[in-house]
Amino acid sequence: EEDFLARSPALKPLYSQCGIPNLARRLQSLLLHHIREALPELRASMQRLADECREELTSCGDVELEKRMGQGPFLLHLISGYVRNFADVLEGRLAYRQQEVPPCKLVGGARLHYIFHRVFGQAILDFDAFSGLSDMDIRVAMRNAAGPKPQLFVP
């Protein structure tokens, strides 16, 4: 390659810009330039994510508590805290952080109450249990359910 580029009269002026070694130097300089441009933003992004993770960890409780209590009691402490928070949500005692906006929809126990009394209740009322079944099908199912014992109600 070097011999060809050095002997070719048309490529001789471009000899310093052609070839594998020149390509390697150019790619290396482009890569270093890109790294220098992207590194500050990447570093800031990583620092922001690390700060968010630290904040989330501190919101979970005392970091030294696990060392003082041991793993078993600490796990029990975390689970009981979760259960307490879950029960508070079901009872309607919601706690919001200052940056959180209270929900505009029903949540927790209010949502469960709505689903069971409105949605599920209406679905049960709209359900036709005997659609597609004849009287004979119902009679056979009742007799099969009784087995060899006598039935209280004989259709």
CB of 78 closer than 8 Å to CB of 61: yes
- Ramachandran angles phi, psi of 105, nearest 5°: -115, 170
Cβ contacts of residue 6 below 8 Å, gap of 6+?
A: 12, 15
CB of 60 closer than 8 Å to CB of 78: yes
Predicted pLDDT at 6: 72
Predicted pLDDT at 37: 94
CB of 5 closer than 8 Å to CB of 18: yes
Using 50 as the pLDDT threshold, list the residues of the chain that sit under it: none
Predicted pLDDT at 95: 64
d(CA 96, CA 77): 22
DSSP for the chain, written as a single string:
-HHHHHH-TTTGGGGGG-SHHHHHHHHHHHHHHHHHHHHHHHHHHHHHHHHHHHHHHHHH--STHHHHH-HHHHHHHHHHHHHHHHHHHHHT-----TTSPPPSS--HHHHHHHIIIIIIHHHHHH--TTTT--HHHHHHHHHHHHTTSPPSS--
- Ramachandran angles phi, psi of 121, nearest 5°: -60, -45
Predicted pLDDT at 57: 76
Predicted pLDDT at 134: 87
- Could you tell me the two tokens for 51? 């700060």
Predicted pLDDT at 32: 96
Query: Does the model's pTM come out above 0.85?
Result: no
- Could you tell me the two tokens for 19? 């070839």
